[in-house]
Amino acid sequence: MIKYSLNCKECDLKFESWFASSKEYEKLKRKKLLKCLNCDSLKIEKSLMAPRINKKEYITRDKEQKKITKIKKKISEYQKFIKNNFEYVGDNFTHEARSIHYNNKKKEKNIYGTATKDDLKELSEEGIDVQTIPWIEDSSN
Residues forming the site for Zn ion (CB under 5 A):
8, 10-11, 13, 36, 38-39, 41
Please state, as a whole number, how many other Cβ atoms lie within 10 Å of the Cβ of residue 6.
20
For Zn ion, the closer of residues 13 and 120 by Cβ is 13
For Zn ion, the closer of residues 41 and 92 by Cβ is 41
For Zn ion, the closer of residues 8 and 123 by Cβ is 8
Between strands 111-113 and 87-90, the pairing is parallel
Query: For the sheet containing 14-19, what is the strand order?
Result: 14-19, 2-8, 44-46
What is the three-class DSSP state of 2?
strand
- Using CA atoms, how far apart are residues 51 and 61, in angstroms rounded to an integer? 15
Q: How far is the CB of 2 from Zn ion (least distance, A)?
A: 22
For Zn ion, the closer of residues 7 and 94 by Cβ is 7
Q: How far is the CB of 8 from Zn ion (least distance, A)?
A: 3
| Eight-state DSSP code of residue 90 | E
Q: How far is the CB of 39 from Zn ion (least distance, A)?
A: 4
